Amino acid sequence: MQWELNSDRPVYVQLIEQIQAGIISGYYKPGDKLPSVRDLAAEATVNPNTMQKALSELERTGLIYTNRTSGRYITSDEVMIKKLKGQSAKDQIMEFLDKMKLLGFNSEEIIALIKEIMNNTE
Amino acid sequence: MQWELNSDRPVYVQLIEQIQAGIISGYYKPGDKLPSVRDLAAEATVNPNTMQKALSELERTGLIYTNRTSGRYITSDEVMIKKLKGQSAKDQIMEFLDKMKLLGFNSEEIIALIKEIMNNTE
DNA sequence: ACTACTGTATTAAGTGGTTAATACAATAAT
DNA sequence: ATTATTGTATTAACCACTTAATACAGTAGT
Question: From chain B, which residues contact A within 8 Å (Cβ)?
Answer: 8-9, 13, 18, 21, 24-26, 85, 88-90, 92-94, 96-97, 99-100, 102-105, 107, 110-111, 113-115, 117-118, 121
* Residue whose C-alpha is closest to residue B55's, from B12, B6, B102: B12
* Residue whose C-alpha is closest to residue B84's, from B16, B22, B24: B24
Q: Which nucleotides of C are covered by protein (CB under 7 A)?
A: 5-11, 16-22, 25-28
pLDDT at A8: 86
Domain ranges for chain B: 11-76, 79-120
- Taking only the tens place, the pLDDT of each residue in A41-99 is 999 999 999 999 999 999 999 999 998 888 999 999 999 999 999 999 999 999 999 99
A70: the nucleotide nearest its CA (via C1') is D6
Secondary structure of B62-96 in HEC code, one letter for each residue = CCEEEECCCEEEECCCHHHHHHHHHHHHHHHHHHH
Mention every residue, 6+ apart, whose C-beta is less than 8 A from residue B10.
none
Cα B122 from Cα B107, distance rounded (Å):
22
Residue of B nearest to A7 (CA): B9
* Residue whose C-alpha is closest to residue A17's, from A82, A92, A110, A75: A92
- Model pTM? 0.88
- Taking only the tens place, the pLDDT of each residue in B14-45 is 999 999 999 999 999 999 999 999 999 999 99
Q: Does pLDDT of B8 surpass 90?
A: no
Cα B96 from Cα A94, distance rounded (Å):
11
pLDDT at B76: 94
- Taking only the tens place, the pLDDT of each residue in B78-114 is 999 999 999 999 999 999 999 999 999 999 999 999 9
Residue A56 per-residue DSSP state: H
Instruction: Pick the more confident residue, B45 or B121.
Output: B45
Cα B17 from Cα B23, distance rounded (Å):
10
pLDDT at A7: 87
pLDDT at A17: 95
Mean pLDDT of B56-69: 92
pLDDT at A122: 74
**CATH annotation of A11-76:** 1.10.10.10
Q: How confident is the model at residue B68 (pLDDT cuts 50, 70, 90)?
A: confident
Cα A30 from Cα A62, distance rounded (Å):
12
Q: Does pLDDT of A19 surpass 90?
A: yes
